[in-house]
Chains A and B, each alone.
Chain A
Amino acid sequence: MSAPKFEWNPETAPANPRQGGPDEAQPAHEEKARRIGVYVCHCGGNISDYVDVQAVVDAVKDEPGVVVAKHTVFACSDAGQQEMQEDIEANHLDGLVVASCSPKLHVVTFRGVAKRSGLNPYEYNQANIREQVSWTHTNDPEGATHKAIGVVRGVIGRTRLSDPLEPLEVKTQQRALVIGGGISGLRAAIGLADVGLAVYVVERERELGGWVGKFGPMFPHEREGRDLIASLVQEIRKRPSITVFTGAEIASKAGSFGNYLVGIRVSGSGDSAETITVDVGSIVVATGFDAYQPPEGSFGMGLPGVITLPDFKALVDGTDGPLRFQGKPVRSLAYVYCVGGRGDGGNAHCSRFCCSATAHTSIRVAGLDPKIRQYHLYRDIRTYGSFELLYTESRKSGSVYVKYPDDAPPVVSTDRDGLKVTVRDLLSGDEELEIPVDLVVLVTGAVPRKNDGLVGILKLPIGRDGFFNEIHPKLRPVETVVDGVLIAGASQGPKSSAESVASGLAAVTQSAAVLKKGVAELDPLVATVDPDKCTWCGKCENACPYGAIEKLSLNGREVATIGEATCKGCGGCVPVCPENAIDLRGYTDGQITAMIDGLLEEAMA
């Protein structure tokens, strides 16, 4: 879980009370004899190729509290887990350390091992000797081994001070919110209703349907986008558990996972608007994408006869004979691919669906007018999977494909005779072709939709490409770092219509997996306030990016209180407290100090 940024200014930061000497307030349980098991993972060779795992085991096996120390080829494998379980039970371990990968990957796995063998899961701590050691020091095995020893020793120190904790249990609402009334959002709404959840759908526009609602026949099944949306709307009408707000926007969000309070601003007639608050367990964000709009002059944009693919598709959808554009017959046309994608227009990404959409459109155009000449100026044709059939059919129906060099895009210009495209054709010996055409279609890709307001309210993470970011494309593809806030459809990245629907349904699955039980467990690794020390200066409240800290009146004094379900355990409040009244469970000051000491011991050695 990554923490949002908070500002730290050394000038204004409180003095470190521990400066100049050890902290006297070390918890008393340091003296308690611990029984800790330490497992150093090879990760196949990911770690052991660079870190001498035996040396790490030898170095830490006599650390205070360590009763078992081993290395293991794959700690995360079932065999590795079994071994740990057996050791925990046989040796009555009360602490567990696995030195392996980043805890982002496997902390849940190893907490599970602890839990299954009767050890409190929060007595488990992970030492990251892969991302932070072996992978970063591939050229220095000896140094990597030293560092690994330090890291492991530090985590052992932290574990000596660990306390058993119980997860926070929160009741979850049996309701979900879908933001976006495109094909992905609408299908998700139906899916949510069908697994027994009440659903609110919020659509910014007056009409449901998004992009697909505007489309005629789509690839690859030739079904009309408009019909698909109509059938979904019909299904929604059959389900009383779905409430749809059109012309509505998200105004606010409060609460925490499982119990979000979301304000929806619904515009009425004219300028009037009212805000409705709904309480939902999860939020599915399916806000779609924007089509890239080439600036004037780019690939002839602005010249008569140069249009984008969406506009061209609309033209084709509205035609049932040979194509005419602005009253003139279209006897030839050129598609220029990758406009606004793969490096063009500042976008590094490929939009995935444009190749197939264009091939499909060209087949339809040939169907309308078999004599029309169609030129496809492309870089790579990415009709992946069975969409390859579209590419084949397009060529069979007369389309000519011309591959242009990555660094020499086609030039669109006009002269006396009209529009022409100049392009180098790699497929015919790198010859420069000048193709006079009646129409140029710029195959524009998808770009992230501008949605600053929503991003701010939901704290949605944005990836480098500007699309919403999932936690992990394989482990948690529709989840975001904000628990219970899921992303679906092309808001996460360019997708075909069917793929958007699939991800919408995957978000349904994820919602149901956490909401259907009625309760959810949250990590108890949250900040706590010592009310005796707190003087309520409000600094912590300002530092909290999640709005988890509130003022509380306690026995006539004003002190801070932290909402456990809202706190994400980022620790931002801890250092700003001038009274040192806040500590973070699982990362107490004592534990952080112990980790530093462990690391330094090795560094000094």
Chain B
Amino acid sequence: MTTYDALVVGSGIAGMESALKLGDMGYKVLLVEKEASVGGRMILLSKVFPTLDCASCISTPKMAASIHHPNVTAMTYAEVDGIERLDGGRFKAKVRQKPRFVDEAACTGCQQCELACTVAVPDQFNYDLVARRAAYIAFPQAVPKKAVIERQGTSPCSYTCPAGIKAHGYVSLIRSGEYEKAFQLVLEATPLVGTLGRACYAPCEGECTRGSLEGSLPIRRLKRFAADTHYASESGPHVEVPPTNGKRVAVVGSGPAGLTAAWQLARRGYAVKIFEAAPVAGGFLRIALPAYRLPAEVVEQDIANVTAIGVEIATNARVTDVETLRKDGYDAVLLATGTPRSTPLGVPGEKLEGVYGGLDFLRAVRLAGTAAAADNPLADRHGKRVVVVGGCNVAMDAARTAVRLGATETTIAYRRGREEMPAHTAEVEDAERDGVRFSFLVAPVEVIGDTAGRVTDLRCRRMALGKPDASGRRRPEPIAGSDFTIPCDAVVAAVGMAAKGAVYGGGVAANENGTLAADKQTLQTNVPWVFAAGDATTGASDITRAVGQGRRAAHMIDRWLNGMPLADFELDSLLEVVDKNKVTSRQSAYARHGIHGGVVEGPAPAAALTFDEIEAPLTEEQARNSAGDCLDCGVCSECQECVKACPSDAIHLDMKEHVEEVEVGAVVVATGYKLFTADAKPEYGFGRYKNVITGTQMDRLLAPTRPFNTVLRPGDGKVPERIAYVMCTGSRDETVGNPLCSRFCCMYSIKQNQLVMGALPLAEVTVHYMDMRAAGKRYDEFYESAKAMGATYVKGRIARITEKPDGNLILRYEDIEHGGSIEEAEYDMVVLAVGVQPNRDAEKLFGIAADGEGPRSPAGAGLEFDEYHYVAEVDEDLSPGKTSIPGVFVAGTASGAKDIADSIVHAGAAVAQVAAHLEAAKKEAVA
């Protein structure tokens, strides 16, 4: 455990002053700052009263000294998680270094990552007046001038994607107009961009935080938009072929798992050959999914990515023995053969003509091409009745296909109820829309045929739901004597699919249910050089999971062939998923709210039921607008643009937080204050009226690093001519629970009055005040000079502000000094002189969380707070800065509102006592 003489929490002016003075005295100090730069709030000011010194000029030398001082160790972007007083009076503190996701040593502060970043969030260092990027350097004078990637967690969409696709990443790229980059980002995970853009069941959309508001973003269709845009613009597949590494891998099966694995392996330089038993590549994508959901061209475009990178695909090539592949020189084999077998109904009459397995039916239709083709299984039954048995997606596909083939009556018979159907709701609804009828709680008992051996009826039995079975769904139980028949010309049995089982020579073991036995994490089979992925090992799942399996298998094969351990390998180093409530509350805390682009409606039902693709693509405008609605849940979208842009390879999104325990002799709490949130005074309209800003925002408008390079009103960029100040916003105000005066608002307003009159010589400045509190050395003189410069001070509190259509604001007030009449005045811009609130983070330092939860320090060791939640000074008269815990001192505004000068002196007072405490401890130790 590293030891220091003192720990200073917070690097605002009081914290820096404390650390530097202690360092000057020769004590070793650890200074911990939660933001990415030291400096606190003072550095964000324009100038400071009453000297009108530039705030940067006074802050920056202290900031630079804080990290260069030989006795001060500064940790930025770090938080103190808890401090415990040890026996003997020293302290143990847990300091958590939050991951910057940027290697501090390598980062040069060049800002390339900022420029490349696709996520914009309100810039807290400009008090939300403008945006900053998720990859950012705090502000131009930041110390250290190192970038940080703000990641509050993994966005729910990306977190939930079984394929490992950075959904948030491509959404933010599309928002930025970077469609090709969006396509390439998906390509990082899988070649099946266009396919997933259509046929993915989009679990991301189910998790989208917008879903609980106006409705989810159309994330899947955004991916389709990126794919369509890419394929429309590229004349052919354009992929970079990597140099070969000399090793060969055979992939058996060309479904989503096989294709993804082959793609991933080929990108690592492997020579990959896919063996496909069917006459076309693509597996279920080509032979099971109906064309109206996934046109063949789309799959072919996606597969062209794979062949373009050098993967060889052999169709009509059934593999029966993996040993031969080994002998043919393959270093590893991946079995990704899916679940090609339809489960039989298991009732009499199943062999009759006109009874099909669901998959067999779909495969036959897709391979046949058109409805009129001679080999179409329903061609000679056009206009007839079809019963589809089952409630899964395949059943829906089969039924909707039957409708498109001209069946007059298509019925789905399912043994449980609607709620229990495993098919996705959207698919069920689409089937209904196509005219498919549903018959629930019905199980087939026998297929009845005519003398020619052709189906005529399906005899069924009605069911009732009993107790839940292993799947959690209520088990259907037959009702005796309830049999009935459905007349029909064809029965499609979509009651399940199964893998092929142990069909390979070479001893690859299989499970009882026919899936291949492979380790769930490593996907390795009992034969070390044989891996199995996708439905072949998991049983029937869906395309997206199969893609995820293929990707995992490729990484595992790569590791295995390179002699690296397979266990404990983390394929995607994900952060915890971000809490959606935090996302929404963060959004509502932003001072300005974005305009919602509107939910993109679902596709209109097609006029005629054909095999043409149903779903309409998003227009570019729709795509940009809906991507623009993204709430950037995790903040960083993981779009990887910064990683690519960084010239010193400093960005590592897999960085982890790091908790360090330190032992210190004394603690200085310099956690500062929070600003009053001005929207808590709704009558002033902050957050709703664009030209109502806070005093701190005005300071930014006036600062040398000002966002707009001039003072303008945010609503329309107009240079304001009449500016009003509303003093005591959130201070001296029982209605917001703060009876205290915030002490510095009068003075910063007077300062701004002078600066505004300097910057805008034609502007009129009026201050609506209760008492002008210019109490301090040279303060009243400063107030007098503002009056002499022409600022007007009107006594009386503002009752209400209303906004005019042109953005001007009407202030209603009592003009106390001129007879007390109620007046109204119009201004271009209103500045709310917001005051301070306690920073209640300090309550967590010694183990007592604000909500009363969290670990408690040993009895009596808790830090005391006053009734207004500031750190209590137990002997302010004689020992300002002394707290309830011996050895713990408070400096600056953590103990109550103070201006900068008073904070600095207060810190000086705290430091003298820290030194006395340390010297006394030293003496005690010697004695």
Contact = CB atoms under 8 A, between A and B. Distances in A.
Say whether A and B bind each other: yes
Interface of A: 43-46, 73-74, 76-79, 81-82, 101, 105-106, 108-109, 112, 116, 187, 191, 194-196, 218, 221, 223, 228, 231-232, 341-343, 348-350, 352, 355, 380-389, 392, 403, 405, 426-430, 463-465, 467, 472-475, 477-478, 492-494, 497-499, 501-510, 512-514, 516-517
Contact of A106 (B57, B142, B916): B57
B816 A467 contact: no
B795 A384 contact: no
Residue among B21, B706, B784, B878 with max Cβ neighbours from chain A (10 Å): B878
Interface residues of B, number: 83
A188 to B, nearest CB: 8
B823 interface: no
Given A221-B876, A342-B780, A513 B795 contact: no
B915 interface: yes
Nearest to A476: B904
Contacts of A463: 777-778
A388 B109 contact: no
Contacts of B142: 77-79
Considering the complex of A and B, which 7 residue pairs feature the smallest CB-CB distances, nearest first? A44-B704, A506-B908, A194-B916, A493-B777, A505-B909, A513-B24, A350-B780
B775 A384 contact: yes
A249 to B, nearest CB: 26
A195 B67 contact: no
B919 interface: yes
A512 B915 contact: yes
B896 A385 contact: yes
A512 B901 contact: no
25 contacts: A45-B706, A77-B63, A77-B142, A78-B64, A191-B916, A221-B876, A232-B878, A380-B773, A385-B898, A386-B897, A389-B739, A389-B740, A405-B817, A430-B819, A430-B820, A472-B58, A473-B901, A474-B900, A474-B901, A478-B905, A492-B777, A501-B877, A505-B909, A508-B908, A509-B915
B141 A195 contact: no
A386 B868 contact: yes
Contact of A508 (B60, B898, B912): B912
Contacts of A46: 54, 704
A350 B775 contact: yes
Given A187-B878, A389-B740, A430-B819, 20 more contacts: A45-B706, A74-B141, A76-B57, A78-B144, A109-B61, A112-B64, A116-B68, A349-B781, A384-B741, A385-B741, A385-B742, A387-B741, A429-B819, A473-B901, A497-B877, A501-B880, A508-B915, A509-B912, A510-B21, A517-B26
B174 interface: no
B816 A427 contact: yes
Contact of A474 (B58, B60, B912): B58
A130 to B, nearest CB: 9
A382 B896 contact: no
B780 A349 contact: yes
A499 to B, nearest CB: 7
B908 A510 contact: yes
Contacts of B775: 350, 352, 355, 382, 384
Contacts, number: 252
A34 to B, nearest CB: 27
B820 A429 contact: yes
B260 interface: no
Contact of A112 (B68, B876, B898, B905): B68
B48 interface: yes
Contacts of B880: 498-499, 501-502, 505
B902 interface: yes
A78 B145 contact: yes
Nearest to A504: B909
A349 B877 contact: no
Interface in B893-927: 896-898, 900-902, 904-913, 915-916, 919-920
Contacts of B709: 45
Given A187-B878, A382-B771, A77 B777 contact: no
B830 interface: no
B360 to A, nearest CB: 68
B757 interface: no
Given A386-B868, A473-B777, A506 B704 contact: no
Contacts of A74: 56, 60, 140-141
A548 to B, nearest CB: 27
Contact of A475 (B21, B58, B817, B876): B58
Contact of A478 (B54, B68, B704, B908): B908
Contacts of B916: 191, 194-195
Contacts of B771: 380-382
B905 A106 contact: no
B442 interface: no
Interface string B434-450: 00000000000000000
A73 B142 CA distance: 12
A352 B54 contact: no
B908 A77 contact: no
Contact of A44 (B705, B819, B905): B705
Nearest to B918: A195
B374 interface: no
A350 B912 contact: no
Given A76-B61, A493-B777, A506 B912 contact: yes
Contacts of B912: 191, 194-195, 505-506, 508-509, 512
Contacts of A428: 820
B720 interface: no
B329 to A, nearest CB: 54
Contacts of A106: 57, 61
Given A43-B54, A342-B780, A467-B777, A477 B905 contact: yes
A7 B448 CA distance: 127
A502 B881 contact: yes
B94 interface: no
Nearest to B13: A474
A106 B59 CA distance: 11
Given A228-B878, A429-B819, A465 B902 contact: no
A348 B779 CA distance: 10
Interface string B140-166: 111111000000000000000000000
Nearest to A475: B58
B25 interface: yes
B265 to A, nearest CB: 44
Nearest to B61: A109
A473 B25 contact: no
Interface in B766-819: 771-781, 784, 795, 816-819
B905 A348 contact: no
Given A348-B780, A352-B776, A382-B775, A426 B67 contact: no
B143 A78 contact: yes
Contacts of A112: 64-65, 68
Contacts of B869: none
Contacts of A506: 904-905, 907-909, 911-912
A218 B907 CA distance: 23
A494 B704 CA distance: 32
Residue among B704, B777, B784 with max Cβ neighbours from chain A (10 Å): B777
Given A74-B60, A221-B876, A512-B915, A503 B704 contact: no
A498 B820 contact: no
A387 B781 CA distance: 22
B191 to A, nearest CB: 43
B841 interface: no
A77 B795 contact: no
B48 A474 contact: yes
Given A79-B145, A513-B25, A45 B878 contact: no
B473 interface: no
A506 B896 CA distance: 18
A79 B109 contact: yes
A349 B777 contact: yes
Contacts of A427: 816, 820
Nearest to A221: B877
